[in-house]
Amino acid sequence: MVKKDDNSRTRHMTPSEKFEHYFNLRMRLLKSALRGVGYLSNRNTYEVPDKAQKIVEDCLKKWSKEFVYDKWSRNSKKKNKNQNSENLYEQYFKK
């Protein structure tokens, strides 16, 4: 039997309170991450490859479908979890 962590911040919360807690936390992190991706478009700071905008938009659509829309509609299929180990820049720009 697995022992539950007594130091959990959410152990005293109801399931709806946990949802609210994690919703606020994760949506703030998502907003911050998307803001950071948007900052990559600053051509005064970065030398942006020509196809970067298309790649970023395609990745956002693909990952939104895979990690959000499919999960909410229960169409999710288990994927190979080792896909994250690759260097994304090399995967998309060094072909």
Local confidence band at 77 (pLDDT 50, 70, 90 cut-offs): low
Whether the pLDDT of residue 54 is over 90: the answer is: yes
> Does 61 share its domain with 24?
no
Q: Looking at the domain assignment, is residue 89 inside a domain?
A: yes
> Does 57 share its domain with 92?
yes
- The encoded tokens of residue 23 equal 């919703």
- Identify the domain containing residue 74 by its residue range: 49-95
Q: Looking at the domain assignment, is residue 63 inside a domain?
A: yes
> Does 38 share its domain with 53?
no
Number of independent structural domains in the chain: 2
The pLDDT assigned to 83 comes to 56
Local confidence band at 81 (pLDDT 50, 70, 90 cut-offs): low
> Does 26 share its domain with 60?
no
The pLDDT assigned to 14 comes to 94
In angstroms, the CA 52 to CA 41 distance is: 9
Sign of the dihedral defined by the CA atoms of residues 20, 23, 26, 32, in that order: negative
Q: What is the mean pLDDT of residues 29-44?
A: 95
> Does 65 share its domain with 42?
no
pTM: 0.70
Q: Looking at the domain assignment, is residue 8 inside a domain?
A: no
The pLDDT assigned to 17 comes to 95
Q: Looking at the domain assignment, is residue 55 inside a domain?
A: yes
Of 10-19, 21-30, 71-80, which range is least confident?
71-80
**pLDDT: which is higher, 39 or 87:** 39
